[in-house]
Structure 1
């Protein structure tokens, strides 16, 4: 049995995992950088180990330091959370070589699905609808031009081994292609250490819908229905909801069945997410698979009543899923707003610094995931997300109203945040009706600028 877990992460996800481990009677080890010495996850874990300097490369991406910490503290397993090393097949393999359990899928599966071009091919083999595009890595501008004639504009160039909107360029004409190709490769190299890119047809005004899955090593695979993650700025999710308000029941059933079939085809185990783009006519296409816990997993937990992190740990501990598909009956609606320390009046620039006063919302139907506390200093070295506010209610409109109230109660002094921006969004007709798409957030920002709301 897993008795002790090292959490190879920081911030709210580390706190989230520690809480579930404590509920399960599992001891925890936190790792931290010198910049995170006073972080909440360090204070809550049973033990903690400093693994390096403030830069991620010196600490949270330092595989040797993390593995040494796990071995020296007698851990049985490592939970990678999301980001950092969570989808790194080398880290997963090294973890296993150290006789530790990696709480996630096998290194081989991570590697296959991490390469987006390879993942597309596998999903085609599984019978999933895939966006028209290149079958392999695009090796040159000349090859890109040739493929563009077949794919047709607009198209999108994507990092083959990336995610989170990095290494991605939309191309609307042949004149833009060369610069976009080199720019995408350069960013992919800088962010992921790999400059490989591939090309796809760009779907205009889509919905970004993802299906949560749980799979054990005994062939049991379940879906926990879908989330609508269409509210994005520069391909970064800002607001998510579950279920998708405008998804037809017949499309929901097909999409969920495709997600399960995809997992079975690749031999997937652990929690994961199959991401789709859905066009206005209801047709949808496989986009990518995330082989880790997602930032937005709490909204699925709320409507399904399932602790996804707990299921991850049980699956890694070679236990069978005790759930059946017919047992999973989602109830109500859930909404999540990602609260970032950023200045919305300066193009959402990061706003690190000391939190001089903090008041978190509470009450029936409100959940808060955060690692911030009064007097905490937000370091400048990491992602700017500092909290997630989650609301849930029997109806979607009630859920939105709860979120408005929660944001009114949320006070974070000392740093700039995007709370005001979220509050404005929740009063827009497109959001209230659920008809917004992946381009709506930027459109709304431009409208605010035109009206003088943004400097």
Structure 2
């Protein structure tokens, strides 16, 4: 076994590798960018080396600095994690040339599977079924458009060297192809340094099922079962589970054998994932097509660990050290059901726009870390309370993984774990995940990659926490904060106590985008009444600590939690959560009405394209500019018809959140 390894990555995977290495008695070296100087993965390792700038190209993608750090610290091996350099054949070769063990497959295997087009040609030779498409080298836009017409719309454009949904677009009409192609190629170049794409028929109701494979240097290769990763947004996974619902034993064996054959065809070593697109046949069985092979550990590997009881990171270290696989195919047994939820800093209601900012509050359910536990959820995370979510990297905050004796129990445990999760700061998807888990399609395992769009009404238009309960929680929290608990002198109390008569308190709130006034009438005996519009309820509240309150409205009682972030109040309840703004009229007495109609950056990022010119007439919904942030492209569209009056940025400019990008005629 190694004495010391360098972890060439960040976030939760770096924390996970560090924890496993420590258990094996292996020391670890972290690397970090300027933006990650105080990050959790830096504290998790024994040593740390600075790489430089915040952008990945200035830090985590500069593999020469990784090699220098390994040499300077005496590391014998390099673990690439996932993302960044994990599938970079040049980096793997450079590690070998420097006398370092790359904890992953050989460079030749990465090269063979690194290009989607080349990998599909290899699979065709091996007899693995492929989705009809064009996988050639000619990437002339006219040739690709012709091939798309031959295949038949809808088609899917995919970055050949890509992954994680980057450089991928569905195109339904020929007239939209050119713009989608240009966007895919820009995103592919920015993310992977390779603009090459392929075009395939879009399977209309696809399931995404992948097989975990593992191989050692002695020639042994096995699979560890499958994962269903069909629930996706923007071609990126949201929920993953194992085993895949509805997959027959015969089809599982067939897919597993195909995955092992694919790995053996390229001389694979270490952990890898063979991904398939599957479509349901009339008889309920599945037909599958090879999609790609990820030559690394996957984000969703914990669900495989949960159902097999294995530590895949430990396997990686042992195999890289030259040891044989710890088990053979006959030894692999799946038990129970596991589901993973990716908790991300993003706004589902705004098209899953990534969010940034300080994680003001992070309260997690009782959990374990890195080790399997059959009753408690497992938390894999790279962020904690007070940490900053920056625009430079992926938006994932943490992963919650649950295990159950069956799928129904796993679903119940995941909902309970998400209900106990309280995050305040950047927008996040926790409430959205709960709605997905409770949706008809997911509960009934009616799965495909369009599940979120199909369940749109239930996921985006569902009623949340009732406004009166949110108002009652905010009022209770404000009154509790003002009450004097140390001094029993009633004249020192600030909660509205009166010797005679009562007190009336007015709160200006914004709930669900609507300004409302909540009024509390308190009597000297402590009884209170909450008024919200024309409605009235007797109100009784008791503070329980850590922002939690027992609140009674009329004859109903609930346990609510309130956490503050400036004027914002995040209210959490067992059946939902709601964001409330508590306006301070004195603090805003000098404010003026803000400017309206300005087109500004929704988050920090880089302008990669300007689609219009000054003086050009545009229509509502027309693309105006493209912003790259968190490794994804976001299109800024016209909010109304108008004429471009001024362009205030150029392609290549880095902009802050809220920066004005351009003006339309008639803007104030």
**Band the TM-score falls in, shorter-chain normalisation:** over 0.9
Q: Which residue of 2 aligns with 1:321?
A: 325
Q: State the shift of 1:353 in Å.
A: 2.1
After superposition, the C-alpha distances for 1:254-284 in whole angstroms (9 at most, x for unaligned) are 1111001111111111100000000111111
Match of 2:380 among 364, 369, 373: 369
Matched, 1:311 2:319: no
For residues 286-305 of structure 1, the aligned pairs below 5 Å read 286-305=290-309
For residues 387-402 of structure 1, the aligned pairs below 5 Å read 387-402=398-413
CA separation in 1, counterparts of 2:201 and 2:153?
7
Match of 1:434 among 403, 427, 445: 445
The answer to whether the 8 Å contact 1:239/1:337 transfers is: yes
Q: Which residue of 1 aligns with 2:224?
A: 224
Q: Which residue of 1 aligns with 2:289?
A: 285
Q: 1:186 to 1:314 in 2, by over 3 A?
A: same
Matched, 1:423 2:434: yes
Match of 1:410 among 400, 418, 421: 421
The answer to whether the 8 Å contact 1:137/1:160 transfers is: no
CA separation in 2, counterparts of 1:53 and 1:186?
22
Decide which moves more: 257-266 or 70-79: 257-266
Q: State the shift of 1:149 in Å.
A: 4.6
TM-score (structure 1 length as normaliser):
0.96
Q: Which residue of 1 aligns with 2:161?
A: 161
For residues 263-282 of structure 1, the aligned pairs below 5 Å read 263-281=263-281, 282=286
Q: State the shift of 1:3 in Å.
A: 1.2
Q: 1:250 to 1:45 in 2, by over 3 A?
A: same
Q: State the shift of 1:451 in Å.
A: 5.7
Structure with higher strand content: 2
Q: State the shift of 1:82 in Å.
A: 0.5
Q: Which residue of 2 aligns with 1:341?
A: 345
Q: 1:326 to 1:365 in 2, by over 3 A?
A: farther
Question: Equivalent residue of 2:455, what SS?
Answer: helix
Q: State the shift of 1:422 in Å.
A: 0.4
The answer to whether the 8 Å contact 2:435/2:458 transfers is: no
Decide which moves more: 75-84 or 106-115: 106-115
Decide which moves more: 148-157 or 11-20: 148-157
After superposition, the C-alpha distances for 1:136-195 in whole angstroms (9 at most, x for unaligned) are 124223322442354222221211111111222222233333333333223222322222
Q: 1:344 to 1:174 in 2, by over 3 A?
A: closer
Q: State the shift of 1:121 in Å.
A: 0.7
Q: Which residue of 2 aligns with 1:55?
A: 55
Matched, 1:16 2:27: no
CA separation in 1, counterparts of 2:345 and 2:193?
27
Q: Which residue of 2 aligns with 1:234?
A: 234
The answer to whether the 8 Å contact 1:29/1:46 transfers is: yes
CA separation in 2, counterparts of 1:14 and 1:423?
27
Q: Which residue of 2 aligns with 1:137?
A: 137
CA separation in 2, counterparts of 1:40 and 1:271?
25
Decide which moves more: 338-347 or 81-90: 338-347
CA separation in 1, counterparts of 2:404 and 2:181?
45
Q: Which residue of 1 aligns with 2:25?
A: 25
CA separation in 2, counterparts of 1:357 and 1:142?
51
Q: 1:115 to 1:204 in 2, by over 3 A?
A: same
Larger Rg: 2
Q: State the shift of 1:129 in Å.
A: 0.9
Q: State the shift of 1:348 in Å.
A: 2.4
CA separation in 2, counterparts of 1:40 and 1:84?
18
* Ranges in structure 2 where 5+ consecutive residues have no aligned partner: 368-374, 465-511, 514-668
Decide which moves more: 274-283 or 136-145: 136-145
Q: 1:314 to 1:202 in 2, by over 3 A?
A: same
After superposition, the C-alpha distances for 1:94-143 in whole angstroms (9 at most, x for unaligned) are 11111101000011211121100000011111221111112412422332
Q: 1:374 to 1:167 in 2, by over 3 A?
A: closer
Q: State the shift of 1:446 in Å.
A: 5.8
Q: State the shift of 1:452 in Å.
A: 7.7
CA separation in 2, counterparts of 1:367 and 1:97?
38
Count of equivalent residues = 455
Q: Which residue of 1 aligns with 2:358?
A: 354
The answer to whether the 8 Å contact 2:439/2:459 transfers is: no
The answer to whether the 8 Å contact 1:273/1:290 transfers is: yes
Q: Which residue of 2 aligns with 1:148?
A: 148
Query: Structure 1: which 4+ aligned runs deviate by more than 4 Å?
Result: 446-455
* Ranges in structure 1 where 5+ consecutive residues have no aligned partner: none
For residues 157-236 of structure 1, the aligned pairs below 5 Å read 157-236=157-236
Question: Equivalent residue of 1:426, what SS?
Answer: helix
The answer to whether the 8 Å contact 1:246/1:435 transfers is: no
Decide which moves more: 303-312 or 368-377: 368-377
Q: 1:231 to 1:156 in 2, by over 3 A?
A: same
After superposition, the C-alpha distances for 1:369-415 in whole angstroms (9 at most, x for unaligned) are 01222322223321110100000011100000000110111112233
CA separation in 1, counterparts of 2:177 and 2:349?
32
Q: Which residue of 1 aligns with 2:638?
A: none
CA separation in 2, counterparts of 1:68 and 1:372?
27
Q: 1:419 to 1:97 in 2, by over 3 A?
A: same
Q: 1:170 to 1:356 in 2, by over 3 A?
A: closer
Structure with higher helix content: 1
Question: Equivalent residue of 1:49, what SS?
Answer: strand
CA separation in 1, counterparts of 2:14 and 2:332?
27
Q: Which residue of 2 aligns with 1:331?
A: 335
